[in-house]
Structure 1
Amino acid sequence: MDASQLADRVFQVVGPAIGAYGTAALTRDEEAGAAKKVELGRAILQEIYWRDKNVPPLETAVNDFAAGPKDEDAAAGLRLQMKKVLESDQTLADEVEKMLRGQSPGNNAEADAETAARDKS
């Protein structure tokens, strides 16, 4: 799948996560009661966020989309930033594609599990 197609598929699951959590979707811990699609979107967004080497443009795009999710320009900006990140890191693109297919929890899943365990202690 090319980066444009992957960015579109990612946007379809990341959009609801940002809608549910706002900009906190970038750093929020896993939430047991969250809808499956929202939780997948949060996990994918964090996978991209923590691996991206050029975070400020992605953060800006997430902030813009959170402020105006019905704004087509904000949506296009977020898709564009995701496309750029996925084009620049094939390993990340492969991991995100696996996450979309349900074949991987992502590399940040271990960090999520550690945080959840620590919070329960």
Structure 2
Amino acid sequence: MGAEIVQLVEQAGPAVTAAVGAYGAAVLTRAQDAAADATVGLGQRILQLVWRRKDEAGRTELERVVGEAADEQDNAYSTAVLSRLLRQALQDDPALRDELAAVLPAHAPGTVNVTASGERSIAAQHIGTAFTGDGHTAPRP
């Protein structure tokens, strides 16, 4: 697998997972909501790019995989399944790589992209300790 595909999947994966988490399988056919979160909107556009390039059988398979990911309670599993789906689509369709690269924000060398999605999510490049649940108190030195 090419490094370009790996990089595209790493960039697109969090947005695709967030979109499926927000809209479920309807992400494939839903019109983009103007008020939608930027990450969710990006993920929706990415999935719809893949959707439009598939034939009838490919669309059915895409619907099945996205539906399973939407129903799954394990976010890590959903991310893995959706990344595999995206990776396969990019391997099968070189022109899709160009389309996806045009949709994704420019990735400057040395830049770190962090996405937080969901209630009480946090995003940080460098962090000591983060408490996100109720009732936690930070230990005092």
TM-score by length of 2: 0.64
Distance in 1 of aligned mates of 2:73 and 2:7: 20
1:68 to 61, 72, 77: 72
Match of 1:7 among 6, 9, 24: 9
Does residue 96 of structure 2 align to residue 92 of structure 1? yes
Question: Whole-Å Cα distance in 1 between the matches of residues 52 and 80 of structure 2?
Answer: 21
1:2 positional shift: 1.9
**Residue pairs, 1:72-83, within 5 angstroms:** 72-83=76-87
In structure 1, distance between residues paired with 2:89 and 2:73:
21
The 2-side partners of 1:65 and 1:50 are apart by 19
For the pair shown, the structure with the greater C-alpha radius of gyration is 2
**Within 5 Å, which residues of 2 pair with 1:1-121?**
1-53=3-55, 54-101=58-105
Conserved 8 A contact 1:86-1:93: yes
**Counterpart contact for 2:17–2:78, Cα < 8 Å:** no
The gaps in structure 1 that reach 5 residues or longer are 103-121
CA–CA distance in 1 between the matches of 2:73 and 2:50?
19
1:61, distance to aligned residue in structure 2 (A): 1.7
Higher helix share: 1
Give, in whole Å, the separation in 1 of the partners of 2:75 and 2:36.
25
Q: Is the 8 A contact 2:17 2:82 kept in 1?
A: no
Contact 1:57 1:81 in 2 (8 A): no
RMSD, aligned CA: 1.8
Give secondary structure in 2 for the equivalent of 1:2.
helix
The normalised TM-score by structure 1 is 0.74
When residues 85 and 14 of structure 1 are mapped into structure 2, their CA distance, relative to the original with a 3 A threshold, is same
Identity %: 32
Q: Which has the higher contact order (CA 8 A, sep 6+)?
A: 1
Matched AA of 2:46: I
1:57/1:8 CA distance change after superposition, 3 Å = farther
Q: 1:75 to 1:97 in 2, by over 3 A?
A: same
